[in-house]
Structure 1
Amino acid sequence: MTEHAPEPIRRRPGGRAARVRQAVLAAALDVLVEEGITRLTVAGVAARAGVNETTVYRRWGSREKLVLDAMLAGSDDGIPVPDTGAVRTDLAAFARALAEYLATPAGRAVAQAAVLSSDGPGAGTGPDSGSARDPELAEAWQAFWRSRLDQAGVIVSRAVERGELPAGTDTALALELLCAPVQTRALLGHRPIEPDLPERLADLVLDGLRGGVGG
């Protein structure tokens, strides 16, 4: 009698741990959008995700790390790092993706959380300030921004390799110059984000970087 090899065990992609992580992060973003960062609690997120509160603490350890992971997951999907083959179009595409993300409920919630968690001038001074009430949220936001800079920094490093930007170009400064006007307009609403703003910002950043080194 011929023996047949056993059928391989077929595991569902990702498994339960991946599904739990996705559910919790989605719930955290929903709470962030609907109630804001100051009202986000691990218990509330766990209840919305349909998991035990201990499960959330076991995986993330703290509310701040949960907030950070949720913000990173949302921005990874909403703000992809482009690779168009040229630094100008890369910068413009990244600025446009940022503007589109900040126009979504999740993007606005993340941006508002950043303001509340910021330790910059004028931030963290009011009674509802996230920084005043929970300094670790400020650290979470700083980690979020560092992560985004690290991921988007490949735009500048590729440009240096192609000879479009000089060696020693300040990556963080380049991306801050590109993103700050978009973030300011999205948060304050004092001026619209015109369709050609991403290209204009890309040109300004490149002119500044090239002129600053060459001068």
Structure 2
Amino acid sequence: MNAEDVEPGTVRPGGRTARVREAVLRAAGDALVEHGFDGLDLADVARRAEVGKTTVYRRWSTPAGLVADLLTDMAEQSVPRTDTGSLEEDLRANARLVARTLTDARQGPLFAAVIAAATCDTRTAQALHHFYAVRVAEWAGCVSAAVERGDLPAGTDAGEVVRAVSAPLYYRLLASGDPLDEAAADRAAGAAAAAARAGVYVA
């Protein structure tokens, strides 16, 4: 593969350059929280990260490339799924993790900014879709395990169950403005578990 064939922001640096990537992505996240995607400026990110503008422009090229790499990093840093042996407890842990993330002083505004950016930028949307595909696949394991234990009907779509847990929580964040707390998380998990047991998510 030639260098010119590589899309900017898709190659992960290693060794000593890893700290540059870490600093730039942290700065990009700060800028997104403060100004949103429309206000994301590569020169400002370079200043915040205390690295040369040339480095940022060469490696990420565009704000969309930078956000794509930020989402890749977020997926890699995400907390592994819980494995308690109980479907309800596993889904509750997932829901509470989502709620904590979305109400975090930094992570909540960051996710809101990225989601807003994805509505008008194709590359950001693709990166966001990949991020959630990684997270859904990770947590789907607890649903698949429940099927294997006989706790859920055969043929249950594990990914759909996981998405059903987090969807009401994102609705509260982005649309209704209703409280996003542990009670809401537990209700979302309980509803998804009940629907799964009833066969709603059998493919």
Fold agreement, TM-score > 0.5: yes
Separation in 2, partners of 1:205, 1:141: 23
Aligned residues: 189
The aligned counterpart of 1:167 is 154
**Structure 2 stretches of 5 or more lacking a match?**
1-13
Return closer, same or farther for 1:190/1:61 CA change in 2, 3 Å cut-off: closer
The aligned counterpart of 2:29 is 29
Q: TM-score, normalised by structure 1?
A: 0.74
Matched, 1:137 2:106: no
The aligned counterpart of 1:156 is 143
Which protein has the larger Cα radius of gyration, Structure 1 or Structure 2? Answer: 1
Identical amino acids, percent of aligned pairs: 39
Matched, 1:207 2:194: yes
Separation in 2, partners of 1:158, 1:52: 48
- Asked if the contact 1:72–1:144 (Cα under 8 Å) also holds between the matched residues in 2, the reply is yes
Separation in 1, partners of 2:88, 2:20: 40
Matches within 5 A, 1:10-29: 15-29=15-29
Separation in 1, partners of 2:24, 2:187: 39
Return closer, same or farther for 1:165/1:33 CA change in 2, 3 Å cut-off: same
> Looking at both structures, which has the greater relative contact order when contacts are Cα pairs under 8 Å and sequence separation is at least 6?
2
Matched, 1:182 2:161: no
Quick check: 177-186 or 104-113, which moved more? 104-113
Return closer, same or farther for 1:175/1:101 CA change in 2, 3 Å cut-off: same
Q: Deviations over 1:10-63 (max 9, x none)?
A: xxxx84222112111111111111111221133322221122334335544543
Runs of 4+ displaced beyond 6 Å = none
The aligned counterpart of 1:4 is none
Give the root-mean-square deviation of aligned CA atoms.
2.7
The SS at the match of 1:153 is: helix
Separation in 1, partners of 2:147, 2:61: 39
Offset of residue 102 of structure 1 = 0.6
The SS at the match of 2:137 is: helix
Separation in 1, partners of 2:50, 2:116: 28
Q: TM-score, normalised by structure 2?
A: 0.77
